[in-house]
Structure 1
Amino acid sequence: MEHADLLKPEGFEEIEHTADWAYRVWGQSLAELFVRAAQGLYYLVGMQLAAEPQVVREIHLQGVDNESLLVAWLNELIYIHESENLGFEQIEILQLDGKTLYAKVTGSPTQQWLKDIKAATYHNLAIHSTETGFEATLVLDV
């Protein structure tokens, strides 16, 4: 189970990409990698949240592997922002097993979102095991 506060920009870094927007994420566990991927997304777009009202959501996604779940996860967060103007500052991954992602997220309406993102992509996406955990490079279609 992983929980994070989005105010700490760690576990990710923006990297150069010719046409789109890319960033690298890492974590000691797959759950932490998914949390850091969300944090990186929110940090890069300059998201700022309103203080109230707070919203708690449960997100349940299916995939064929961890990479498809990671793309679905980020695209779900983008969709929730676009359709409901919500962002999440607290993320808790309750289940992540390669085919299922179940998360509890807490946030509020966004006051600021500086860059439009069409979608997270599969471009060169692979989650790699490292000596210290897991790592992936994500490309966002802008």
Structure 2
Amino acid sequence: MTDEKELGFIELQHTADRAVRVWAPDYPALLIQSARAMYEIAGILLDQDCKVERMVELAASDDESLLVVFLSELLFLQETENLAFNKIRLRVSGFELQAWLSGAKIKEQAKEIKAVTYHNLNINRLPQGLEVTIVFDV
């Protein structure tokens, strides 16, 4: 079982936009924690009576781009279908991923996130795992 201190996120002060620092022991966990952080910033509450599942396949040219593509896909589903996901399983191979998403219709959303940015985006490899700071356009 993963120690809770090995993964998580914290919101950072950022002028005009919103930013989070996310950490996890490996890349798939970093993607999942990043999604959780994004939903937390948006203040998403799910309608547990309207459960949904989706599967998506995505590809990019590097790890940072795959992170942005993944979060952007979640934002797209949020904006077009009013969906958010609280259970995410990933299979990552190189710069491609398959995601099995379980969630629900959005009951309430406190803040709108317009986009995931590449601003100063760099996944840092640390002895205990990975860390990234993500800036969201709000």
Q: TM-score, normalised by structure 1?
A: 0.90
Q: Does 1:108 align with 2:113?
A: no
2:113 aligns with 117
2:92 aligns with 96
| Alignment partner of 1:68 out of 65, 72, 77 | 65
Shift of 1:84: 0.2
Shift of 1:101: 1.4
Q: Does 1:26 align with 2:27?
A: no
Indicate the SS of the match to 2:48: coil
Distance in structure 1 (CA, Å) of the matches to 2:31 and 2:137? 18
Distance in structure 2 (CA, Å) of the matches to 1:12 and 1:97? 24
1:69–1:98 CA contact under 8 A, matched in 2: no
Shift of 1:54: 1.4
Shift of 1:27: 0.3
1:138 aligns with 134
1:6 aligns with none
Indicate the SS of the match to 1:114: coil
User: Structure 2 regions of 5+ residues with no counterpart?
Assistant: 1-6
Distance in structure 2 (CA, Å) of the matches to 1:69 and 1:100? 7
Distance in structure 1 (CA, Å) of the matches to 2:42 and 2:15? 18
2:3 aligns with none
1:64–1:98 CA contact under 8 A, matched in 2: no
Q: 1:34-74 CA distances to partner (integer Å, 9 max, x unpaired)?
A: 00000000111111001122111111111001100100111
Distance in structure 1 (CA, Å) of the matches to 2:25 and 2:84? 24
2:125 aligns with 129
Letter in 2 for 1:134: L
Indicate the SS of the match to 1:61: strand
Which ranges of 4 or more aligned residues in structure 1 deviate by more than 4 Å?
none
Q: 1:4-57 CA distances to partner (integer Å, 9 max, x unpaired)?
A: xxxxxx600000111211000010010000000000001111110011221111
Shift of 1:87: 0.6
Q: 1:72-118 CA distances to partner (integer Å, 9 max, x unpaired)?
A: 1111111101000001010111x213410111010110001111111
Length, aligned pairs only: 132
Q: Does 1:14 align with 2:11?
A: yes
